[in-house]
Amino acid sequence: MARRSPTGTYLRGVFWKALPTLSQFTYIEMLTPHKNREGVNQYGVRLNTQDSRQFDLHPVDQRRLTTLCGQFDEHLKMIEKRLQVKVGRRGHHFRVEGPTENVAAATEVIRHMYRETEAVDDIPPDTVHLFIRETGLERLPDDVPYNEGQITVIKTPKLTAKPRGQNQQKYVHSVRTHDINFGIGPAGTGKTWLAVACAVEALKDEQVKRILLVRPAVEAGEKLGFLPGDLAQKVDPYLRPLYDALYEMLGFEQTTRLIEKSVIEIAPLAFMRGRTLNNSFIILDESQNTTREQMKMFLTRIGFGSTAVITGDTTQVDLPRGQDSGLIHAASVLSNVRGIGFTRFESKDVVRHPLVQRIVEAYDSFNDGSGPRT
């Protein structure tokens, strides 16, 4: 290995420099220039990698390193996702790759967090979030364009799914690169099934700690207590499609075990009030049957490290007459908000029986006045 040379000189193609020694913290950095090299992080986001920085954290303390990285490296994953970099670690040795400014920002965040571990035994996600925000370089996911030529595959324990057609491909790309996503379109287009598949994949890859599957129970509304049985028995009829998707991807035994451990939670929308959901993958299905107030309540439950997918069909609203659909209202209000993804499906995206596509097209033609009337 090359000996360390005076600051500002090259030795065997490697540029070395020493940064100031902080209180009980020594930081030595190696900067290796890489120009116009493309990489992909674990979220499927393509990075235009310009720099690669390697550095060691001192003094070496396993407890502090564990606190820094978080459970299952959740803190490092948050830095990767928010700053669009790749972070590698072996013991106290770190490597950060990505655009020049982002690499510098991520390196500084890791340094500050390690200093924090000297005084605390735990760093909550909101503290990591604040460190990232202070860099001023946090990128919103809609800066990442969809590449029509890329092949998307979703891997779950029981099956590997390949989205069909451009809209399904865009939908999965949006789910992987946005924290909040809307999938709007007719029945049978795979909105819910693909969302559940992405959730199972994220759980398998330890990107999230739990999955929450939520549906509005229209007929029962907020009065589920009047129905017989415990909570699971009360809401089971409304959430059966979500169970079916889980059984297909995880198997009956594993699904049951994860539900018992509360790793997977299936609940009516009314039970989300007052909660903050961190490090979770949340799916709101049949969202056309939410009110404006319920939709706002759901969207404001989302915490750090979480992904939310909202699916629905605006042509199948079952709300009482006079009540506006929260999905239709949200699609209008949030359509231009950066960081929120929208995918709109059409009848051509239906993947059920061929007659289903014709039925959807017939109803669409009838509703817009172009179809026959009797």
CB 308 within 8 A of CB 181: yes
Which pairing describes strands 46-58 and 93-98: parallel, antiparallel, or unpaired?
A: antiparallel
Q: Write out pLDDT tens, residues 100-132.
A: 888 988 999 999 999 989 888 898 887 888 888
pLDDT band per the 50, 70, 90 thresholds, residue 138: low
pLDDT at 257 over 90: yes
In CATH, the architecture of 10-139 is 2-Layer Sandwich (3.30)
pLDDT band per the 50, 70, 90 thresholds, residue 81: confident
CB 220 within 8 A of CB 234: yes
What pLDDT score does 78 carry? 86
Residue range(s) occupied by CATH 3.30.1370.10 in the chain: 10-139
Which of 81, 55, 53, 57 is CA-nearest to residue 68? 57
The fold adopted by the segment(s) 149-367 is: Rossmann fold (3.40.50)
Distance CA 103, CA 48 (A): 12
Please tell me which residue, 147 or 316, carries the higher pLDDT value.
316
What pLDDT score does 221 carry? 46
pLDDT at 227 over 70: no
Query: Taking the model in full, what pTM does it have?
Result: 0.68
Residue range(s) occupied by CATH 3.40.50.300 in the chain: 149-367
Q: Report the pLDDT averaged over residues 170-191.
A: 91
DSSP 101-133: HHHHHHHHHHHHHHHHTTT-S---HHHHHHHHH
Q: Write out pLDDT tens, residues 264-297.
A: 998 888 888 888 888 899 999 999 999 999 999 9
What pLDDT score does 256 carry? 92
pLDDT at 28 over 50: no
Q: Write out pLDDT tens, residues 83-106.
A: 889 999 999 999 999 988 889 889
